[in-house]
Amino acid sequence: MAFFRTISVTDLIPVIPGDGVVLRAPQMSDYAAWAELREQSRAFLTPWEPTWPQDELTRASFRRRLKRYSEDMRADLSYPFFLFEKEPQRLLGGLTLTNVRRGVAQTASLGYWIGEPFARCGRMTAGVRALIPFVFDALRLHRLEAACIPTNEASIRLLERTGFVREGRARQYLCINGLWQDHLLYARLRDDPISPPL
């Protein structure tokens, strides 16, 4: 009976179409494609991410991840998306809105990754552009923040291409790949202009 059904992440966030891409909530059926793409992209991703635990790519860990996503979403704390190519529909990467702060802040942080085989094809630019209306219109946030290591040229270009403005540098801001690393701080406000399409 629908009344007793557990609410899953797919019930709580919309499918968002973009330019050649689609964003939707992660589902258990994505596990095999996700684990394969993350394993294939391990060397490409790990310099820019928190250290992967030993069980990072296991089915049990993915299941726990979905449960956490679901709890966080219901609490209006974070909103996870997987990024798919529109045709043929295949997993490309992911974007996550985390650390949603309401009250006088109305702010969230944006994180993202793409599988190495799909990098540098404009896919994440399309993904971020598609997500922006959800952030400001659906969630009605005022500000979207992102941070990256100063040597992460791909991330810097992505943020500047999608209308984020550099606001400063935070010392030892996040523990990435096992080290506390300085980060460049970027943000987009509701009314900031989106730069021209690719």
Ligand X SMILES: CC(C)(COP(=O)(O)OP(=O)(O)OC[C@H]1O[C@@H](n2cnc3c(N)ncnc32)[C@H](O)[C@@H]1OP(=O)(O)O)[C@@H](O)C(=O)NCCC(=O)NCCS
**Footprint of ligand X on this chain (CB under 6 A)?**
44-45, 48, 112-114, 119-125, 148, 152-155, 157-158, 161, 198
User: What is the smallest separation between the CB atom of 5 and ligand X, expressed in angstroms?
Assistant: 34
Residue 12 or 156 having the CB closest to ligand X: 156
Q: Which is nearer to ligand X, 97 or 114 (CB)?
A: 114
Nearer to ligand X, 66 or 130 (CB): 130
13 or 114: whose CB is closer to ligand X? Answer: 114
Q: Could you tell me the smallest distance in angstroms from the CB atom of residue 134 to ligand X?
A: 18
For residue 41, the minimal CB distance to ligand X (Å) is: 8
Q: Which is nearer to ligand X, 24 or 38 (CB)?
A: 38
Closest CA to 108 of 75, 82, 76, 144: 144
Residue (of 143, 137, 24) closest to 89 by Cα position: 24
